[in-house]
Chain A
Amino acid sequence: MIGNLEYARGLGRAFIGAVLFALPLFMTMEMWQLGFTMERERLIALLAVTFPMLVGLSYVAGFERAFGLVDHVLDAFAAIAIAAFAGTVVLILFGVLAPGQPVQEIVGKIAVVTFPGAIGALLADKQIGKSRGHEDDDRGDRSYLVRLFLMCVGALFVALNVAPTEEMVLIAFQISPWQALVLAIASLLLLQVLLYWVDFRGGVFRGEQSFSGVLFRYAFAGYALCIGASLLLLWAFGRTEGVSVAEVLEFAVVLAFPAVLGAGLAHSVVAEQRE
């Protein structure tokens, strides 16, 4: 049972984590505009999808020693609250939130930055603080679904930081379908390399499975998850409106590239865990 002071320190770390992880978004113009241009139903849908992810992440990473579903839900809510608070503070400092703006706009701006901020809050304990007596569990024990889940969270997180920007669709407009093809293949290979070869705190995958095993079970599935995450974000930010399927797919391929980085590195960022 940890004391109040320790919990307060944990909150402080979480606050810093939230600011750190959401900072690129705090300073992105399109993100501010999303506060009033994003359709409410889509914002709600995005939050509805990301909330269970935060609960899952709390389970895998551990905000504090928690037991049972209720604690993970509470951790997720706490992370959201911290992220919303951090977002409010920073956006006020930047003048993005100002008196006189309609409530809808203010709430929208804060809501959009809470997901990455909440991830930062949940993970902060791991990165900044010392782990408080968690058993250093064997990462090789993570189940297949947990690994896929982590890839998903990583993909969503990194992609979210660039998804609202104009540069993202501009890249898609500037490249030919053949370049998009090369980009898709390169992204898959990048994911494979990240999962199989790069040694982060112990190359979990390489020790266990063959090259083609990792490729087939994790890289292909992971890339599909990255594309899925990209499509979700594109839809949520209204980039799919009135656009042909082939074009949307090119957007998704462009957005999946940073998503792949998130998916591939997620396992090392969310390292120690207890299952």
Chain B
Amino acid sequence: MSKRRVTKGDTPLLEWIVGALGAVIFAAILAVLISNGLGGDAPPSVVARVERIVPVEGGYAVEISARNAGDTTAADVEIKAESGSETRTARFDYLPPHSERRGGVFFEHDPRGGELQLRAEGWQAP
């Protein structure tokens, strides 16, 4: 087996650059993970917001975004939407910390008329 590229002092500049880049990226990853680990462990804090309301077949679709401002992931999150006499539920499989997900509920009567309330009801640890 030929050993053309063998002597250790013989390393091309490109390899040094790429290697250094890789090491820097690795260090950055470690830094983010460490800072995340040192951050708090507050329970999930979920706030839901109405994005928009659109008339659709059969009623009205209310697009919702749910945001988890806490430090831990919430799974199986229930968001209750109340408008007048109607109560509907939206479910989110996972809400990671400091992240948001979108979903929605359907109403029969126009929720834009009255007060539309959104409430996060419960969650599970994943």
CB distance from A29 to the nearest CB of B (A): 14
| SS of A interface (majority) | helix
The interface residues of chain B lying within 8 Å CB-to-CB of A242 are: 65, 99-102
Q: Which residues of B contact A250 (CB under 8 A)?
A: 33, 36
A217 and B29 contact, CB distance less than 8 A:
no
User: How many chain A residues touch the partner (CB < 8 A)?
Assistant: 46
Residues of A193-244 at the interface with B, using a CB-CB cut-off of 8 Å, are: 202, 207-210, 213, 216-225, 227, 241-244
Which of these, A174, A181, A241, contacts B37 with CB under 8 Å? A181
Q: A173-B126, A207-B3, A221-B21 are in contact. Are A245 and B15 (CB under 8 A)?
A: no
Inter-subunit contact A216/B19 (CB<8 Å)? yes
Once A170-B126, A184-B33, A217-B15 are accepted as A-B contacts, the answer to whether A210 and B96 lie under 8 Å apart by CB is no
Indicate the member of A144, A173, A176, A181 with the most B CB atoms within 10 Å: A173
Residue of B23, B96, B99 touching A216 (CB-CB under 8 A): B23
Is there contact, CB below 8 Å, between B33 and A177? yes
Chain A residues whose C-beta falls within 8 Å of the C-beta of B37 in the assembled complex: 176-178, 181
Band of interface residues on B: 35 or more
Question: Please, which residues of chain B bring their CB within 8 A of the CB of A253?
Answer: 29, 33
Instruction: Write out the residue numbers on chain B whose beta carbons fall within 8 Å of the beta carbon of A246.
Output: 32-33, 35-36, 97-98
Q: Considering the chains assembled together, what is the distance between the CA atoms of A148 and B65 in angstroms?
A: 41
Q: Is the CB of B33 within 8 A of A209?
A: no
Q: Mask for B1-38, Cβ within 8 A of A = 1, else 0?
A: 11111101001101110110111011001101111110
**Contact string, A145-160, partner B, CB cutoff 8 A, digits 1/0?**
1001000000000000
Q: Out of A174, A219, A224, A249, which one reaches B32, CB within 8 Å?
A: A249
With the chains together, A172 CA to B12 CA distance in Å?
38
Cross-chain contact A177 with B36 (CB below 8 angstroms)? yes
A→B interface (CB under 8 Å): 138, 140-141, 144-145, 148, 166, 169-170, 173-174, 176-178, 180-181, 184-185, 188, 202, 207-210, 213, 216-225, 227, 241-247, 249-250, 253
